[in-house]
A = this chain, B = another copy of it.
């Protein structure tokens, strides 16, 4: 836990930001609005964050940290590589389905940033991507996955596929169940489309 000693206001600001960002998007969210939502003065925000953008990245890292914890625990408890992949997909979909603010944050707001910030976010995502990579490696080793798998590539195809499914579901207005897509998604990842 890197953040265990951060003061309450730090989290209050992050919570306020999460709400305001989700409602208005990053560029249309004023710092003063976040301050009001967090119940602090405008200037106070700058005691905890250097720039407005830092709130966004901190928020992401904080939330992603929690998520990766869950992913790790699930993978540890899994009986096989295939089972681990299913758990990853289950958690990925269910966590975002059950937390719309978080979904907006990851699928919409975090994309609203320039290349530099995107790199930083990519860095934070790395832990998640590597988790998938490890599962793929394990599957290759125990013989359940193809031995010629390009793990660097496939981890992107898997992550990108899930990511797009979530974004599409979000933009559509969450009209259908996201978790119901876990089965068919896993199926595609495992067997592809060829008969």
Contacts and interface: CB of A to CB of B under 8 A. Distances in A.
Contacts of A136: 193
Q: Which 3 A-B pairs have the closest CB atoms?
A: A160-B164, A111-B111, A157-B161
A163 to B, nearest CB: 6
Contact of A114 (B112, B115, B158): B112
A165 to B, nearest CB: 5
Interface in A142-193: 143-147, 149-150, 153-154, 156-165, 167-168, 171, 181, 184-185, 188-193
Nearest to A139: B193
B171 A115 contact: yes
Contacts of A156: 161, 164-165, 168
Contact of A192 (B168, B184, B188): B188
A90 to B, nearest CB: 15
B153 A195 contact: no
Given A112-B111, A164-B159, A190 B194 contact: yes
Given A139-B193, A190-B194, A193-B146, A153 B171 contact: no
Q: Interface of chain A, helix or strand or loop or mixed?
A: helix
A182 to B, nearest CB: 10
A82 B112 contact: no
B158 A194 contact: no
A98 interface: no
Nearest to A129: B168
Contacts of A5: none
Contacts of A118: 108, 171
Contacts of A112: 27, 111-114
B165 A157 contact: yes
B190 A144 contact: no
A147 B191 CA distance: 13
Interface string A103-129: 010001001111100110010000000
